[in-house]
Amino acid sequence: MNKTSSGTRLPAAKRRETTVQAVIDLAAAQNPAEITTSDIAEKMKITQGALFRHFATKDAIWQAVVEWVTRRLLSRVDEAARTAASPLEALEVVFMAHIESHGQHAGVPRIIFGELQRAEDSPAKRAVREFMGQYVGKLQAFIEQGKAGGEIGPDVNAKAAATLFVGMIQGLVV
């Protein structure tokens, strides 16, 4: 365990979560590609050595951030599926939850877009692509359910509609 600036020790899982939050906060204020491990450690008021006790590399930090985003957003999609009265209502709840999430964590879209724009492949970029595939797949399922129930026209291309749904959110965020 590591000590905080107040001298108390944090469990490893909590330190990892704190690191993810620090990266998201930093990304809200600056270009994620320019965030250094020094910036992250400074934001957390720890040393770089303490940071690297929990993450082997900077790429591992970014991957942890993307995994956090994936868990959070896909959990919201699953919650919408459980609570919505219809597939269209589920899509509305997911849309609003996604927008609200980006409002609360403004650095997240910058991180996602930044990873997708990286020229080289990285664990985080692969994780973003996997997340997007899962997300679009869940949206497609809502659309197919809506088609089956007569809420959505039978000729609607579910994959194209799900991709457009994500694109609308991206457009609003940008």
Residue ranges of the chain that CATH labels 1.10.357.10: 59-173
73: region left, alpha or beta (phi > 0 left; psi from -120 to 50 alpha): alpha
Looking at CATH, the fold of the domain delimited by 59-173 is given as Tetracycline Repressor; domain 2 (1.10.357)
**3-state secondary structure at position 162:** helix
Which helix (H) or strand (E) covers residue 86, if one does? Answer: none
Backbone angles phi, psi at 167, to 5 degrees: -60, -35
Q: Which residues fall within 8 angstroms of residue 30, CB to CB, at 6 or more apart?
A: none
Determine the distance from the C-alpha atom of residue 72 to the mean position of all C-alpha atoms in its chain, rounded to a whole number. Answer: 7
CATH 1.10.10 positions along the chain are 11-52
CA 60 – CA 66 distance, rounded (Å): 10
Model-level pTM?
0.82
CATH of 11-52, one of 1.10.3470, 1.10.287, 1.10.10, 3.30.70: 1.10.10
Please tell me the number of Cα atoms within 13 Å of 65 on its side-chain side: 28
- Asked if 90 and 148 count as a contact pair (C-beta separation under 8 A), the reply is no
Q: What does each of the 174 residues of the chain score in pLDDT, given as a tens digit?
A: 444 444 456 677 888 899 999 999 999 999 999 999 999 999 999 999 999 999 999 999 999 999 998 998 899 888 878 889 999 999 999 999 888 888 888 899 899 888 888 888 988 899 999 999 999 999 999 999 999 999 999 999 999 999 999 999 988 877
Contacts by residues 146-149 (CB-CB < 8 Å, ≥ 24 positions apart): 146/86, 146/87, 146/88, 146/91, 149/86, 149/87
Provide long-range contacts, Cβ within 8 A and 24+ apart, for 9-16: 12/54, 15/50, 15/54, 16/54, 16/55, 16/64
Q: Cα–Cα distances in Å, from 140 out to 14, 34, 113, 157?
A: 35, 35, 22, 9
Note the pLDDT of residue 80: 79
